[in-house]
Amino acid sequence: MMQERRLQPDAIPRHVAIIMDGNGRWAQDRGLSRIEGHRQGLEAVRAVIRAAHELGIEFVTLYAFSLENWNRPQDEVDELMRLLEHYLESELDEVIRNGIRVRSIGRRDRLPTSVLEKLEKAEQKTRENREMHLVFALSYGGRQEIVDAVRQLLRDAENGKLDPEALDEKTFAEYLYDPEIPDPDLLIRTGGESRVSNFLLWQIAYTEIFVTDVRWPDFRKDHLVEALRDYERRERRFGRTSAQVRS
Ligand code: IPE
Ligand code: IPE
Ligand code: MG
């Protein structure tokens, strides 16, 4: 609580994206199955959403399942899908109560029908909510998102809907999975690995990165506050000099 009071309201990032990593190692350390780690990871998801809402963060994007994660052993994939489905179903009421809008990015066509149904239901039922936006990156890959954007863009160019000469970053970004989501200000990765693992490649061009050794199942509000305090001290220069930024 002490820590939280010292956060400056105007330095709260608008969009925090999180690579929720370390579930398997958390479980392994305790002699448990990897699935148990994922199950505990859901507790962290609940805690972080609540905390983000309390702290006034507007957008939270959670990397829940990458396109590369489809290559994991089938039983782990199945269990992750079951957990996801369960989560989307059991948390919907609280999400609605808190005025949170659920969104998702990723290749939906690869998701099992039962998961897709729950996801679409959550998106549908919360579409008017404005308190906070909760984005699930599911069956998501950054490179694939760019490829999907280019594919649509080429179609539009062919149909005469897009003038190739007029293409700029702003127009390109409109072809991404959800153009209404602003770029992340802060990217948190738990589990200690300093890599982006194909997450939001276009969007993180100027995002501040915070890596913590804390494994995702152990991540709680205090850890989020620690990341925000670190973020608060950063100087985002966007290519300019420090003197320019300060004036
Ligand atoms: C992150 O934890 C969860 C997903 C990728 C779905 P991991 O399962 O990658 O855990 P580690 O990295 O093996 O510890
Ligand atoms: C990144 O974690 C994906 C998610 C957290 C969903 P991974 O565990 O899949 O990443 P790598 O394989 O260590 O890069
Ligand atoms: Mg991992």
Whether pTM > 0.85 for this model: the answer is: yes
Q: What is the pLDDT of residues 119-138, one digit of tens each?
A: 999 999 999 999 999 999 99
What is the number of other CB atoms lying within 10 angstroms of the CB of residue 173?
14
Residue of 69, 98, 129, 198 with catalytic role: 69
Q: Which two tokens stand for residue 10?
A: 């105007």
From 69, 104, 188, give the residue whose CB has the most ligand 2 atoms within 8 Å, as the site to mutate.
69
- Cα(69)–Cα(140) distance, integer angstroms: 9
Is 69 among the catalytic positions? yes
Write out the chain's pLDDT in tens, 247 residues. 555 457 998 999 999 999 999 999 999 999 999 999 999 999 999 999 999 999 999 999 999 999 999 999 999 999 999 999 999 999 999 999 999 999 999 999 999 999 999 999 999 999 999 999 999 999 999 999 999 999 999 999 999 999 999 999 999 999 999 999 999 999 999 999 999 999 999 999 999 999 999 999 999 999 999 999 999 999 999 999 999 999 9
Domains of the chain with CATH codes: 14-141+183-234 (3.40.1180.10)
CA distances from 59 to 72, 124, 227 (A): 29, 18, 16
CA of 94 to the centre of ligand 3 (A): 28
